[in-house]
Amino acid sequence: MAARAQLRRWPAQATMVAAGGEAGGAYLMLGGEAQALAYTAAGHMVLLGRYLPGDLFGDMAGPAESEHDLVALLPSEAGQFTSATFVALVEMHGCIAIALAKQLTARLSAATRRMVEVATVSTTGRIHAELLRLAGDARVIRPAPVLSQLAIALQTTRETVSRTISALEKRGIVRREDGALFIVAPHRLEELLE
C-alpha cells in the first residue's frame, strides 16, 4: 500500500485541505494530528472531527469539493493516493474495506452522539462529560486541555469552559498540576452529569 502513496507533510497550523477545494485524492494519516473545521454563516467555528495516525480522509471515491477545512494541529504527514488508486486498493483488499467501514461507522456514531448531547445536555454537562472522556481510566488529561480547543469541540465559548473548569477546581473535583488536569473526584463529576 505504501508503494502506491505519495508522502505529504504539513507544519502545525497548516491547512491540509481547504473548504471549497478538492482534496486531490484519499489520504492515510501517518503522523501528527489534524481537525476538520466548518464555519457557520455568522463565522462561528464548528469542530467536525479529529484525525490521528491511521485515519483516512479526503476524496475516497472521486473528486468532490470539500465542505470543510482540514487543519494540522501538530506537524503532520500522510500518504496521498489518487482516488482511482484508493478505490482499486479497497476492491483488491477486503481488510482495507473493513477498516474504512469501521472508521466511517465510528465517525457517524461520534457525530450522532455530539448532536444528541447538544440537543439534550446543558453546556456545563457537555464539558463535564468531555473531561471524563478525555481523562479515561487514568483520570488525568495530559497535557491539560487547551480551553479554546475544548470550546470548539463542544460548540461553546472559551469563557464558558474556563468558568466551568474553575468551578470544578474550587469544589475539589479537578486539579491542575504539572501541565495536566487531574480528575480528583470522578464520582462527583459523574454525579453532575445526571
Q: What is the pLDDT of residue 31?
A: 96
Q: Are residues 27 and 107 in the same domain?
A: yes
Close Cβ partners of 134 (under 8 Å, ≥ 6 residues apart): 141, 145
Is the pLDDT at 1 greater than 80? The verdict is no
Domain count, the chain: 2
Q: What pLDDT digit, counting tens, does each position of 47-98 carry?
A: 888 999 999 998 877 777 788 899 999 999 999 999 899 999 999 999 999 9
Chain center to CA of 69:
13
> What residues contact residue 105 under an 8 Å CB cut-off, 6+ apart?
none
Written as one letter, the residue type at 164 is: T
| 26 and 113 together in one domain | yes
Same domain, 115 and 176: no
Position 121 pLDDT exceeds 80: yes
- What letter would DSSP give residue 146? P
Domain final residue pick, 76, 94, 119: 119
Residues 145 and 60 in one domain: no
CB 126 within 8 A of CB 156: yes
Q: Render pLDDT for 127-174 as a digit per residue (tens, 0 to 9).
A: 999 999 999 999 999 999 999 989 988 889 999 999 999 999 999 999
The whole-number pLDDT of residue 164 equals 96
Grid cell 465510528 in the structure block, residue: 106
Note the pLDDT of residue 194. 65
* CATH number, residue 75: 2.60.120.10
Among 67, 32, 17, 29, which Cα is nearest to 46's?
Answer: 67
Q: What is the pLDDT of residue 66?
A: 83
One domain for residues 99 and 64: yes
The verdict on 92 and 132 lying in the same domain is no
Residues 94 and 182 in one domain: no
Domain that holds residue 184: 121-193
Neighbours of 29 (CB within 10 A): 19
pTM greater than the 0.85 cutoff: no
56 and 130 inside one domain: no
Do 63 and 108 reside in the same domain of the chain? yes
- What are the grid coordinates assigned to 157, written together? 465559548
